[in-house]
Every structure is written in C-alpha cells, then in structure tokens.
Amino acid sequence: MTTRLLIAVLAVNLANATLMVEQQEGGPSGSVGWSESAALCRLLPNSAASSFNFETGAVTFNGASYGTIGLACTVPGIANALSPFVINAYAFSFLDPSGEPGPTTPECSVAAYLVDRTAPAVLEGWSSEKSFSGSRFWTVDVHLNNSNNNLVNGHFYDVDIYLFRPKSAVGKCSPTAYGAYLEDLCTIF
C-alpha cells in the first residue's frame, strides 16, 4: 500500500511539474553554444511592420504598427567547444514588454520557442504572460524538459521569437527582441 501511494504521489507531482525558467538582467547565464542577434533572424510572413536595428541587434514595432512580429532564428550548428549533447537550455533577450515598472500587463508581451524542424516539434516555449515582471533588459533561460534534456545530433533547430502589441497598446509599450541563445547551464535536475 505504501509503495502504491508513493508511486501515485510521484506521478501526480511529475504531471504537475512546471517549466524551469530563470530570469535575470543581462545576458544568458550558461556557456553559449550558439547565439544570434534578433536583427539577423528571418522575419516570418504576415508580421507587423517592424524596425530592425543592425547596430544594436534590436527588432521592435515600427512607429504605430501593431499585431505580431515573428522571427525565426536558425541554428546552423553548435560552437564554442560544446556539442548538441550538452545543450540543455535556450535563452532569449528582450526589453520590457509593458514599458512600466512592476508586473507586465497582457497588453504587450513576448514569447519564444525552441523548435526541432527535423521532428517537427516545439521542444519548449515561454511567454511573458506566464511569469514576467519588471521593466528592464531581461534574458530568460528556459531549461529543456524533453526526454534527454538536450538536443539531438543531426537535427535542425530554430529559436522562434514573437512580439505582441495590440492596437490599444500603441504608444504604451513596444516590446523589443535582442537575441537568442542555446546554452549549457551545467546543472542536473
């Protein structure tokens, strides 16, 4: 009876597991195996009018435009003496989606997804509506939660970034993407 109860509790806890996310000011916190400036990512079809700053790497809404800006940042390979087998997180950097101090409102937001284009499958995703707070330059590290917690050698990956601004929020907020990263956080979960 005790063993069955323990297994049932463990199964419920695993089913209710939450996404492991670290949010900090500044850049990524792990060893970077790949990075891309947002301005060098591919603009997805039907994106809102956007502004690309190749000097800072930033992508944001152009003037009074609104809607969704989608960026696909293609990962051509892993470098810096790292292999796909040690990559256990992805990260992306952005500037305050709300434009105001304190918790964000759902008016403007950002989201990013690590996509396996070979499978095809979304491996992990994060949205500022889930856990974002603050009004500064942020980097969010999202731990991979797949079966082996890392990338599969020979697969092709993208980090897709989305910026959202409704018409009602023009002049109130302008979410800005700066970059995407694949990294080794050197931790065991």
Closest CA to 143 of 91, 95, 178: 91
Specify whether the CB–CB gap between 94 and 71 falls below 8 A. no
Q: Which of 145, 163, 35 is nearest to 89 (CA)?
A: 145
**pLDDT tens per residue, range 74-132:** 998 888 878 887 888 888 888 865 555 544 455 788 899 999 999 888 888 888 764 44
Query: What CATH architecture is 19-184?
Result: Sandwich (2.60)
- In 3D space, the residue among 118, 116, 99, 119 whose CA is nearest the CA of residue 108 turns out to be 99
**Can you tell me whether residue 20 is helix, strand or coil?**
coil
Of the candidate ranges 27-41, 55-69, 89-103, 117-131, the one whose mean pLDDT is the lowest: 89-103
Domain boundaries, the chain: 19-184
pLDDT tens, position by position, 172-183: 788 899 999 888
Computed over every residue of the chain, the mean pLDDT equals: 76
Q: What are phi and psi of 139, to 5 degrees?
A: -125, 130
Please tell me the predicted confidence (pLDDT) of residue 154: 85
pTM, two decimals, is 0.78
Alpha helices per DSSP H over 89-163: 128-131
The CA distance from 165 to 110, in Å, is 9
Report the C-alpha gap between 184 and 180 in whole angstroms: 14
Higher pLDDT, 135 or 174: 174
